[in-house]
């Protein structure tokens, strides 16, 4: 099979595109013919060795795929050859990645794709939407009627967060560039605050007079000095980006007001949590509520270039789907 892989950790240009042996599914794995994959920032971290995880070289990069079931391990039930499926947790924890013509996927990490969903739409939304669900619901305790602030609300994960929070019945305050205000409102944001200019904390405080119950920073700004003071009693901050940020932590207001800060990365999520997130992702895909703003389809051989574009910040909210054919 053709695959995008590395022989050692390194920069984007260390990704090679060539032929590797076809994977053989284990007893509880499913062999999938990959139609499309994509690349996310976490893929660049793993490729570069910035995130520690078990890797066997040559290592196929990539988390996400959409494809069809080609064969089943003898211990697999619930799938049939030909089923359209997806996965968003390959390329980590000893699992080979998704950027290949075929992949062996643990059955507990594989989900059916809803009918009528285009593969390029699905594959570009799987990681952002599942990240958003885990951040808001699993780690953030999202509930109806609460006030949720989303930093980076026009980005890939931020847009999914606005969609999920609004769908759950929360009051959503989106922080984004003014040019993205209409986009955020269309996703369900009640209020949009321009991220530019001085006094963002003051403007957010005016928009949230009763305090913020859940503050989700999808942009990696991680300005805790501002965020902590905005929280209501037992309000929570969820950090999920900004790998190398070192913010100041205002400890006093945290413990006096029972406030908290939690960080998480989807790479460490157990299979049961990913399956719960997958149910929400499938519902949103079936409802047509997960829609990338712009998708560029490139061949699988362009994987190294897409990693380079991600690290150079050249995509600006656009998503790339990598097609195997």
Is the pLDDT at 242 greater than 80? The verdict is no
How far is 142 from 102, CA to CA, in rounded Å?
Answer: 37
**What would the pLDDT profile of 7-41 be if each residue is shown by its tens digit?**
999 999 999 999 999 999 999 999 999 999 999 99
Counting every residue written for the chain, the total comes to: 325
Is the pLDDT at 317 greater than 80? The verdict is no
How far is 306 from 314, CA to CA, in rounded Å?
Answer: 9
Quick one: how far is CA 12 from the chain centroid? 20
Residues 230/204, Cβ–Cβ less than 8 Å = yes
Instruction: State the greatest distance between any 2 C-alpha atoms of the chain, in Å, as a whole number.
Output: 61
**What would the pLDDT profile of 123-136 be if each residue is shown by its tens digit?**
999 999 999 999 99
**What would the pLDDT profile of 265-278 be if each residue is shown by its tens digit?**
898 899 999 999 99
The confidence score (pLDDT) of residue 57 equals 97
Residue ranges and CATH numbers for the domains of the chain are: 2-126+271-323 (3.90.180.10), 140-263 (3.90.180.10)
Least confident of 162-166, 204-208, 287-291, 315-319: 315-319
Is the pLDDT at 250 greater than 90? The verdict is no
Residues 274/105, Cβ–Cβ less than 8 Å = no
User: What is the mean pLDDT of the segment spanning 47-53?
Assistant: 92
CA distances in angstroms from 36 to 72, 190, 292, 323, listed in the order given? 20, 35, 15, 5
Coil vs helix vs strand at 100: strand
Confidence of residue 321 (pLDDT cuts 50, 70, 90): very high
User: What is the mean pLDDT of the segment spanning 302-314?
Assistant: 95
Q: Which residues contact 5 (CB under 8 A, 6 or more apart)?
A: 15, 16, 17, 18, 20, 58, 59, 60, 61, 97, 99, 100
Q: Which two tokens stand for residue 47?
A: 């490729």
Region of 220 please: left (phi>0), alpha (psi -120 to 50) or beta. left
Q: Which residues contact 30 (CB under 8 A, 6 or more apart)?
A: 69, 71, 72, 73, 76, 79, 85, 104, 105, 106, 107, 110
Residues 8-20 as b or e (16 or more Cβ within 10 Å = b): eeeebebbeeeeb
Mean residue pLDDT across the chain: 94
Contacts made by residues 180-184, CB under 8 angstroms, sequence distance 24+: 180/153, 180/154, 183/154, 183/159, 183/293, 184/153, 184/154, 184/159
Residues 191/173, Cβ–Cβ less than 8 Å = yes
pTM: 0.93
Q: What percent of the chain has pLDDT over 70?
A: 100
């Amino acid at each position: 099979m053709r695959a995008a892989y590395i022989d050692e950790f390194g920069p984007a240009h260390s990704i090679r595109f060539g032929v590797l042996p076809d994977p053989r599914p284990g007893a509880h794995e499913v062999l999938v013919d990959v139609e499309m994959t994509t690349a996310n920032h976490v893929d660049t971290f793993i490729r570069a060795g910035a995130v520690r995880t078990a890797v066997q070289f040559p290592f196929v990069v990539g988390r996400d795929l959409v494809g069809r079931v080609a064969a089943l391990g003898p211990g697999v039930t619930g799938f049939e050859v030909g089923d359209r499926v997806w996965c968003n947790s390959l390329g980590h924890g000893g699992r080979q990645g998704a950027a290949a013509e075929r992949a062996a996927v643990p059955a507990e990490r594989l989900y059916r794709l809803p009918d009528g969903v285009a593969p390029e739409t699905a594959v570009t939304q799987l990681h952002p939407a599942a990240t958003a669900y885990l951040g808001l619901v699993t780690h953030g305790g999202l509930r109806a009627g609460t006030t949720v602030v989303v930093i980076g609300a026009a980005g890939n994960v931020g847009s999914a967060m606005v969609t999920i929070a609004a769908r759950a019945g929360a009051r959503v305050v989106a922080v984004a560039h003014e040019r993205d205000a209409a986009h955020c409102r269309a996703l369900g944001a009640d209020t949009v605050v321009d991220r530019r200019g001085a006094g963002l904390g003051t403007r957010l405080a005016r928009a949230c007079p009763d305090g913020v119950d859940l503050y989700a920073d999808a942009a990696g700004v991680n300005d805790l000095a501002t965020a902590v003071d905005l929280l209501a009693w037992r309000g929570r901050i969820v950090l999920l980006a900004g790998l190398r940020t070192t913010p100041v932590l205002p400890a006093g207001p945290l413990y006096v007001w029972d406030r908290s800060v939690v960080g998480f990365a989807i790479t460490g999520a157990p299979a049961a949590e990913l399956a719960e997130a997958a149910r929400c992702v499938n519902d949103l895909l079936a409802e047509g509520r997960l829609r990338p703003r712009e998708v560029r389809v490139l061949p699988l051989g362009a994987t190294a270039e897409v990693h380079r574009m991600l690290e150079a910040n050249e995509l600006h909210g656009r998503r790339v789907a990598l097609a195997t054919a």
